[in-house]
Amino acid sequence: MFATPGVGTRKRVVLLFGIVSLVLVSLTVRLAYIQFIWGEELRKKALETRMRDIPVAAKRGTIFDRKGRELAVSVSVESVYAFPAQIKNPEDTAKTLSSILGMKYDDVHSRLTRNSSFQWIKRKIDPEQAKKIRAARLSGIGLTQESKRFYPKGSLAAHVLGISGIDNQGLEGIEVAYDGDLRGVPGRIIIETDARGKELPQALHSYVPPVEGNSLILTLDEVVQFIAERELERAMVKTQARAGNVLVLDPKSGEILAMAARPTFDPNRYDEYPDSNRRNSVISDTFPPGSTFKPVTAAAALEEGVTSVNDRYYCGGSIKVPGHTISCWVSEGHGSQNFIEVIQNSCNVGFVNMGLRLGPQRFFSYLEAFGFTSVTGIDLPGEATGIMMRPEEMKPVDLAVMSFGQTLTVTPIQLACAIAAIANDGLLIKPHLVKEVRGPDGGIVHAFQPVVARRAISPKTAQELRYALEQVVEKGTGRQARVEGYRIAGKTGTAQKVIGGRIVEGKYISSFVGFGPANDPRVVALITIDEPVGEYYGGVIAAPVFGAMIADILRYLEVPPEPKDKRTFSPSGASTGGGGAQSQGGGRAQPAGGAAGDGAVVVPDVLGMTIREADGTLKGAGLKMEITGSGFARSQDPPAGTYAPRGSSVRVRFAP
């Protein structure tokens, strides 16, 4: 007979059955969860485990100048990669690769033995190295096509173009500003492998082709850029300066024709230069503009009606403002002069008068109107903006010195754009460097049109300023910027450097900003020379650079020269002469004072000339010269336009 199971046994059986049932239910739920919830994710992971991607970089778009000349291109090169799991002998493979590639053995061996499915060995190698690697037939080692950036013109326009990195990405300049357009879409090669990373027989292969990037058509002109850089480089060598800038633009469209800074670098070998060489100081650095800022004060004073072109100013060498005496740069003063002559002579006293008449609020409103309180919006990274006081912070002495370009700072591009507004009938245009974005097929993706930021001054005020700035070049401190056959307008500047908020004695920035032709401006150009050795006045250092540059640029742009007898441009209501010479009929000055007689000649105007220029001019008129001082002619006796006996002497005082 068999014993009947007790209650305890039955309970244990029921418990065991319950546990088994719970485990089975849990496994079923888990299986269902894996199948229906994780299924797709696990499938992707399995696929990723057995599929190996070899990246194929897209070809970066070409950068052209405005006439289709290549400034930056991408060339095809090969890169070496490894599938570590497929390498049979890492030691021998590392030895071979290190010998071919010129790499350290330990570095190569480390890459070959890493626990990864894919590893770069060396990117963008030369063709001879690729040929040797291909011939070595190393297991687990392959070559893939990539593109390498190349700048065929070397350092030309380096600060505009910028640089790109190993992964086909823009890092600086236009390369990074338009990286989204230039980069394109990378492709890939997909290879099926086993769990150990070895390629399977009859493996699945697929190729996803890269999409080439868009190309850019810049506003730069390669020839204008070359001319600008050539003259800047000559100035740097001649003056032994620390740094320098040059900027050339079209005042009507805002298109940048040339932009360069010194020191410079070659973007093909940028790692061989100090990082500071890559700084684009045209847009990123500020400086005290000095007298190149004076046209802005003059424009504001004319526009607000606190002066006119026929107003007269007296300069005795200094002017007093509450608690301070401000000196003119000519210690003896300029005497009585009209508005045009104040600009022509760059008279600090005259500009202090204009600034004080305007007052802080109106003065500041024109800083805003001319774009000095904000960035210009140029399509480059790293643009800075100037530093200047708010109206409520300005004391009379602050306003006085700001009116002739001290105690405020601007960027070179801000200053050039402000002067371009005067050249462009008062309209401030946003500067830009890209004309068009084009697709790989050459079709236009986007075309950029000129953008008017605002009207800074009226056309009438702009016309009067253009005439005044022409006199600076014809008779004043900018005589060395003159170009035979062309009417040039501009303004010199000489400013003491400010470092750490303090004026540094003996360190100067020489500058010149101007445009031509004066009556129908085609180009505006700015030159700055930072810390020239020896002579430092803008009229001596920067003006000749401008003159040499603008002469070649106007000829290259096929701007026809204008005969002197057809130059009738003058501001409405403006007197074209000072002292005894008054404008009559067609703008030709008639002699005043003295008397004509046998052997008498008209005394020519030599103000602003060097000693040699003044001596030659007087000799040409049949006169002699008595010299006092050195530098540029500041006064003459008898005055220009009067009669003097042939062979008599003209006393000329020269000053720096």
DSSP string of 583-637, one letter each residue: EETTTEEEP-SS---TTEEEPPP-TT-BHHHHHHHHHHTT-EEEEEESSEEEEEE
Query: Tell me, what DSSP letter sits at residue 201?
Result: T
DSSP-derived letter for residue 81 is E
CA distances from 195 to 43, 117, 199, 201, 637 (A): 14, 10, 10, 14, 100
Closest CA to 487 of 547, 573, 574, 528: 547
Inter-residue contact 319 to 326 (CB < 8 Å): yes
Angle at 317 between CA 314 and CA 318, to 5 degrees: 90
611 contacts 627 by C-beta, under 8 angstroms: yes
Closest CA to 256 of 72, 421, 379: 379
Which residues are 170's β-sheet partners? 164
- In angstroms, rounded to a whole number, what is the distance separating the alpha carbons of residues 535 and 537? 6
Please give the positions annotated as active site.
291
- Residue 421 · residue 456 · CB < 8 Å: yes
d(CA 89, CA 237): 58
Provide the token pair at 108.
Answer: 């190569």
Q: How far apart are CA 58 and CA 186, in angstroms?
A: 5
475/479 Cα distance (integer angstroms):
6
Strands 51-56 and 187-192: antiparallel
Using CA atoms, how far apart are residues 635 and 335, in angstroms rounded to an integer? 10
| 3-class DSSP string for 246-291 | EEEECCCCCEEEEEEEECCCCHHHHHHCCHHHHCCHHHHCCECCHH
**DSSP of 42-58:** HHHHHHHHHEEEEEEPP
76: Cβ contacts below 8 Å, ≥ 6 apart: 59, 145, 146, 147, 148
Q: Whole-angstrom Cα distance, residue 53 to residue 116?
A: 12
Helices (H) then strands (E): counts for the chain: 18, 28
Residue pair 299/463 in contact (Cβ under 8 Å)? The answer is no
- To 10 degrees, what angle do helices 348-369 and 294-303 make? 80
